[in-house]
């Protein structure tokens, strides 16, 4: 994952948001499990938690995932960076899959459209936390910042017939040598 900021100034805030998201998923799972206790694992009934439809399987899965994300946020040390990035991807894919198969027999987790929307929102929070939560030494942060502004990557100036477009106006870009 190249060009991810290291020691972003809002990294702590995103880690806090991921922790709150993980706590929400964990509490959703606990309340859902208590509301669906005794029901079949993949029941498609009207049981809810926090206003979202659930079943016992979805509640157990939510407890596991919520605990993993919350523990990752509490531990930190770049573990949260990878856990949140993966959790964001999983929540986005889960939301898309369950939205596509909402009114079919493939909806084994008893998702509704509202549950899919919440999955997209949580996926976005976790993904942002994963992208901006990377930590490193001051030297690693300086090296990444220097690379992003050096012109060797996507920030290189683009010459057009009329003018020069630059991602970083006023920054001199090094010319690449032909080897």
* CA 108 – CA 151 distance, rounded (Å): 49
* CA 81 – CA 13 distance, rounded (Å): 13
Q: Domain spans of the chain? A: 11-132
Query: What pTM value is reported for the model?
Result: 0.79
Beta-ladder partners of 158? 165
Give tens-digit pLDDT for 9-26.
898 899 999 999 999 999
Give tens-digit pLDDT for 138-152.
888 888 877 777 666
Element containing residue 60 per DSSP (H, E): helix 56-75
Give tens-digit pLDDT for 152-165.
655 455 555 665 56
Give CA separation, 48 vs 20, 63, 82, 103, 146, in Å. 20, 15, 30, 17, 50
């Amino acid at each position: 994952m190249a060009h991810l900021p290291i020691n972003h100034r809002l990294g702590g805030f995103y880690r806090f948001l991921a922790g709150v998201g993980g706590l929400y998923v964990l509490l959703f799972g606990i309340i859902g499990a208590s509301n669906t206790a005794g029901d079949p694992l993949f029941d498609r009934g009207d049981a809810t938690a926090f206003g979202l439809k659930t079943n016992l399987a979805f509640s157990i899965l939510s407890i596991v995932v919520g605990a993993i994300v919350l523990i990752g946020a509490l531990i930190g040390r770049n573990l949260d960076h990878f856990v949140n990035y993966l959790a964001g991807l999983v929540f986005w894919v889960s939301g898309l899959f369950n939205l596509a198969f909402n009114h079919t027999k493939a909806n084994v987790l008893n998702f509704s459209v509202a549950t899919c929307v919440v999955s997209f929102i949580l996926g976005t929070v976790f993904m942002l936390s994963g992208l901006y939560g990377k930590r490193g030494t001051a030297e690693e942060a300086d090296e990444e910042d220097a690379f992003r502004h050096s012109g060797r990557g996507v920030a290189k100036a683009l010459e057009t017939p009329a003018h020069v477009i630059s991602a970083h106006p006023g920054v001199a870009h090094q010319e690449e040598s032909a080897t």
